[in-house]
């Protein structure tokens, strides 16, 4: 089992314990253990019981359970708890805004047992009788239920799909018959959510490839199997399609199955205009194959340079390729700094020193410590006094640690009127200020626009953090006038953040494109709460690439000395 899979089971147990009315400390023990497992840099499944017991936050009892889980794939306590509740009730956890506490309220007060009950009460208005379930909440619940109707298709985060894809590729590569292998589809285009996985393999003989594919341990059932195409459904419900083609067709198949559909249609139209036929087996003139071995060959035969998969959405990339104006997309190696991180001063799970060492190991030259401001009481947010205390620690660490520069920063809350959670004189002392909205994210668009603009116009604000506030699949983005926000940001020299957390990826790809067109600089930040999460920068880079972003569009690709002159750099 992967660490994320173990953490999910522990979190599910914590949810069900909370539904059962178990005491706070037992619930918290499972949640802390899930978080500790998630943050481990090594595969917990490969550790001994004694090594698991040594992980901070995990006691002897939980260490034993985790060891059992990694060996058997399940736990008696999870099965026991799952049998206490209807499956439909547990599925309510997938609805945004419905955590275990709220589901327990619905269960106890309205005897709701599943989605049908919840939908009926939301439509009738009876839900409003419970504190915290007003008309707006009922409307959001109904919208979420509509989105999850049968047939709407299961989608998972790219980061979750990446774990499955890596394990599957490792398994398939053990088959010697495979000459080339690639995961295609929306996964290769780095979409933020993935509906299924498309695997393309080149082999002279498909039988051994198919046999290896079907032996993947996560396969739950075979949905279909033919000579060159096999479809399976994994234990987590994700569908995976395998296509096996001759090596001479691999590039054409990879192009075809990478998509998008709109991009492929555009390519086929170009092929037709040239008297050619393009399909998954190659580019043909009559019965003669013109190209197909590699993607580069296919594009070149169509008089186009190769187009990066992240751009293949038919948003003008083919026209840009034709005119020689394709952007040189940013790479992870271009990043030199990380500008949004948290430590144990607030809700982070590691010390500033631990974060600094990981940033250095990751090849970064500087990073900003941006713990929360005081309004986030649950995160033990910083007031000016504690901010100064943190400054002293950063100064001392700066003298001890070589190879990485620690910048003093803050993630300051934008209050509902657009003012900031800390006074200007406290913010003026800092190297970097990220201003973010953390509450009242459902303000009407006009008020949210005013709120953000007021924050942007504050001379101390360097960037707006996770601008839409969305949580993919759980919280809708805030609505505001993006054009006006970007106009003012350009005017004030304020950057916009691409938050790399997999459930945020905020800004969206299309908003990145809009920011670039508006001349607004971006920053790609990890929003890391532990050293392991610094690696999430890769996902922010993926999002930037989908938005056609180049290294020069991103402030933290610059050396530290140049970055410190950011005000001039943002406005050039």
DSSP letter assigned to residue 186 = H
Q: How many CA atoms lie within 13 A of 405 on its CB side?
A: 16
What is the rounded CA–CA span in Å between residue 154 and residue 525? 28
- Please state the separation of Cα 246 from the chain's center in Å: 35
Same domain, 163 and 118: no
Query: Does the structure show a pLDDT above 60 at 120?
Result: yes
pLDDT number for residue 352: 97
Contact assessment for residue 427 and residue 435, using Cβ atoms and an 8 Å cutoff: no
Of 469, 470, 468, 472, residue with least CA distance to 160: 472
- Domain annotation covers residue 250: no
pLDDT number for residue 378: 66
- Domain annotation covers residue 437: yes
Which residues lie across from 202 on neighbouring strands? Answer: 180, 245
- Domain annotation covers residue 433: yes
DSSP string over 437-485: --S-TT--HHHHHHHHHHHHTSTT--EESSTT--BTTTBPPP---HHHH
Query: Does the structure show a pLDDT above 50 at 4?
Result: yes
Query: Does the structure show a pLDDT above 70 at 125?
Result: yes
Domain boundary among 281, 297, 326: 326
- Tracing tokens 């197909």 back to the chain, one arrives at 292
pLDDT number for residue 127: 80
The tally of domains found in the chain comes to 4
- Domain annotation covers residue 254: no
pLDDT number for residue 136: 76
pLDDT number for residue 147: 59
- Lookup: tokens for 20: 């059962």
Which residues lie across from 291 on neighbouring strands? Answer: 283
pLDDT number for residue 148: 52
Same domain, 135 and 196: no
Q: How many CA atoms lie within 13 A of 414 on its CB side?
A: 32
- Lookup: tokens for 330: 């940013």
Same domain, 276 and 396: no
Query: Does the structure show a pLDDT above 80 at 123?
Result: yes
Same domain, 275 and 390: no
Helices (H), 85-205: 87-90, 100-110, 115-124, 135-147, 158-172, 185-188
DSSP letter assigned to residue 152 = S
- Lookup: tokens for 365: 């030259």
Same domain, 360 and 403: yes
DSSP letter assigned to residue 216 = -
The β-bridge relationship of strands 196-202 and 239-245 is parallel
What is the rounded CA–CA span in Å between residue 416 and residue 412? 13
What's 273's domain CATH number?
A: 3.30.210.10
Question: pLDDT of 416-428, one tens digit each?
Answer: 999 999 999 999 9
Mean of the per-residue pLDDT values of the chain? 91
Question: pLDDT of 523-534, one tens digit each?
Answer: 999 999 999 999
Same domain, 216 and 74: no
pLDDT number for residue 570: 37
- Lookup: tokens for 260: 């998008």
Query: Does the structure show a pLDDT above 50 at 487?
Result: yes
- Domain annotation covers residue 400: yes
pTM value surpassing 0.75: yes
Q: Which residue has the higher pLDDT, 129 or 14?
A: 14
pLDDT number for residue 571: 33
User: How deeply is 380 buried, as exposed, middle or buried, from its count of CB atoms within 10 A (0-12, 13-18, 19+)?
Assistant: middle
Q: Which domain holds residue 319?
A: 261-326
Same domain, 424 and 349: yes
pLDDT number for residue 82: 87
Average pLDDT over residues 342-354: 94
Verify cis geometry, omega within 30 degrees of 0, for the bond prior to 260: yes
Question: pLDDT of 258-281, one tens digit each?
Answer: 999 999 999 999 999 999 999 999
Question: pLDDT of 357-368, one tens digit each?
Answer: 999 999 999 999
312: pLDDT confidence band, cut at 50, 70 and 90? very high
Query: Does the structure show a pLDDT above 90 at 541?
Result: yes
- Please state the separation of Cα 453 from the chain's center in Å: 26
Same domain, 94 and 230: no
Query: Does the structure show a pLDDT above 80 at 568?
Result: no
Order of strands, sheet of 282-285, starting from the edge strand that comes earlier in the sequence? 277-279, 282-285, 288-291
- Lookup: tokens for 214: 């079907």
What's 185's domain CATH number?
A: 3.30.460.10
Same domain, 30 and 67: yes
Question: pLDDT of 147-195, one tens digit each?
Answer: 554 334 568 999 999 999 999 999 999 999 999 999 999 999 999 999 9
Same domain, 63 and 103: yes
- Tracing tokens 């169509």 back to the chain, one arrives at 302
pLDDT number for residue 465: 98
3-class SS of residue 433: strand
DSSP string over 17-53: HHHTT--HHHHHHHHHHHHHHHT-SS-GGGS-HHHHH
Same domain, 210 and 103: no
What's 14's domain CATH number?
A: 1.10.150.110
- Lookup: tokens for 233: 């459904």
- Domain annotation covers residue 129: yes
What's 508's domain CATH number?
A: 3.20.20.140
Query: Does the structure show a pLDDT above 90 at 230?
Result: yes
pLDDT number for residue 152: 40
Q: Residues in the chain, how many?
A: 572
Query: Does the structure show a pLDDT above 80 at 376?
Result: no
What is the rounded CA–CA span in Å between residue 135 and residue 121? 11
- Lookup: tokens for 384: 């000016």
Contact assessment for residue 396 and residue 357, using Cβ atoms and an 8 Å cutoff: no
Domain boundary among 326, 342, 358: 326
pLDDT number for residue 151: 36
User: How deeply is 470 buried, as exposed, middle or buried, from its count of CB atoms within 10 A (0-12, 13-18, 19+)?
Assistant: buried
Query: Does the structure show a pLDDT above 80 at 145?
Result: no
CA angle in degrees (0–180, nearest 5) for 414-415-417: 115
DSSP letter assigned to residue 201 = E
User: In b/e form, how buried is each residue of 227-253, taking b as 16+ CB within 10 angstroms?
Assistant: ebebebbbeeebebbbbbbbeebbbbb
- Domain annotation covers residue 511: yes
Average pLDDT over residues 568-572: 36
Same domain, 478 and 543: yes
What is the rounded CA–CA span in Å between residue 494 and residue 460? 10
Q: How many CA atoms lie within 13 A of 310 on its CB side?
A: 24
- Domain annotation covers residue 253: no
Contact assessment for residue 315 and residue 329, using Cβ atoms and an 8 Å cutoff: no
pLDDT number for residue 130: 79
Domain boundary among 295, 326, 357: 326
The β-bridge relationship of strands 219-225 and 229-234 is antiparallel
pLDDT number for residue 566: 64
């Amino acid at each position: 089992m992967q660490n994320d899979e173990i953490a999910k089971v522990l979190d599910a147990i914590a949810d069900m314990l909370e539904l059962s009315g178990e005491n706070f400390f037992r619930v918290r023990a499972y949640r802390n253990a899930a978080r500790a497992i998630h943050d481990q840099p090594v595969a917990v499944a490969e550790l001994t019981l004694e090594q698991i017991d040594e992980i901070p936050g995990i006691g002897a009892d939980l260490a034993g359970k985790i060891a059992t889980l990694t060996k058997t794939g399940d736990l008696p306590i999870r099965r026991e708890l799952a049998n206490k509740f209807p499956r439909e009730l547990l599925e309510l956890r997938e609805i945004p805004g419905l955590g275990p506490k709220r589901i327990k309220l619905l269960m106890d007060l309205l005897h709701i047992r599943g989605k049908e009950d919840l939908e009926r009460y939301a439509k009738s208005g009876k839900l409003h009788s419970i504190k915290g379930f007003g008309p707006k909440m009922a409307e959001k619940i109904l919208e979420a239920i509509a989105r999850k109707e049968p047939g709407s298709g299961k989608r998972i985060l790219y980061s979750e799909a990446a774990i499955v894809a890596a394990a599957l590729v490792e398994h398939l590569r053990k088959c010697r018959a495979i000459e080339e292998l690639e995961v295609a589809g929306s996964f290769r285009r780095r979409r933020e959510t993935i509906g299924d996985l498309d695997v393309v393999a080149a082999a002279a003989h498909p039988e051994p490839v198919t046999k290896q594919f079907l032996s993947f341990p996560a396969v739950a059932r075979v949905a279909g199997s033919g000579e060159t195409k096999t479809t399976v459904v994994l234990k987590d419900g994700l569908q995976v399609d395998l296509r096996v083609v001759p090596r001479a067709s691999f590039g054409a198949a990879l192009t075809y199955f990478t998509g998008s559909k709109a991009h492929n249609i555009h390519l086929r139209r170009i092929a037709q205009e040239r008297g050619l036929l393009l399909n998954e087996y190659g580019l043909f003139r009559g019965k003669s194959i013109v190209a197909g071995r590699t993607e580069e060959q296919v594009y070149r035969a169509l008089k186009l340079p190769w187009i990066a998969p992240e751009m293949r959405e038919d948003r003008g990339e083919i026209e840009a390729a034709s005119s020689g104006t394709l952007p040189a997309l940013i790479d992870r190696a271009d990043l030199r700094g990380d500008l949004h991180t948290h430590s144990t001063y607030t809700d982070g799970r590691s010390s500033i020193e631990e974060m600094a060492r990981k940033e250095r190991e990751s090849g970064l030259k500087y990073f900003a410590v941006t713990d929360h401001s005081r309004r986030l009481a649950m995160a033990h947010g910083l007031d000016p006094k504690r901010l100064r205390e943190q400054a002293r620690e950063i100064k001392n660490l700066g003298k001890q640690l070589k190879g990485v520069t620690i910048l003093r920063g803050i993630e300051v809350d934008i209050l509902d009127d657009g003012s900031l959670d800390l006074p200007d004189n406290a913010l003026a002392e800092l190297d970097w200020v990220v201003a973010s909205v953390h509450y009242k994210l459902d303000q009407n668009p006009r008020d949210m626009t005013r709120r953000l603009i007021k924050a942007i116009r504050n001379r101390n604000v360097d960037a707006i953090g996770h601008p839409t506030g969305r949580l993919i699949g759980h919280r809708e983005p805030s609505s505001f006038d993006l054009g006006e926000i970007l106009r003012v940001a350009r005017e004030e020299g304020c950057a916009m953040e691409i938050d790399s957390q997999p459930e945020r990826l905020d800004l969206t790809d299309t908003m990145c494109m809009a920011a670039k067109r508006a001349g607004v600089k971006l920053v790609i930040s990890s929003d890391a709460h532990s050293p392991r999460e610094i690696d999430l920068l890769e996902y922010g880079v993926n999002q930037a690439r989908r938005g056609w972003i180049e290294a020069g569009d991103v402030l933290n690709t610059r050396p530290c000395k140049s970055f410190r002159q950011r005000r001039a750099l943002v406005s050039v």
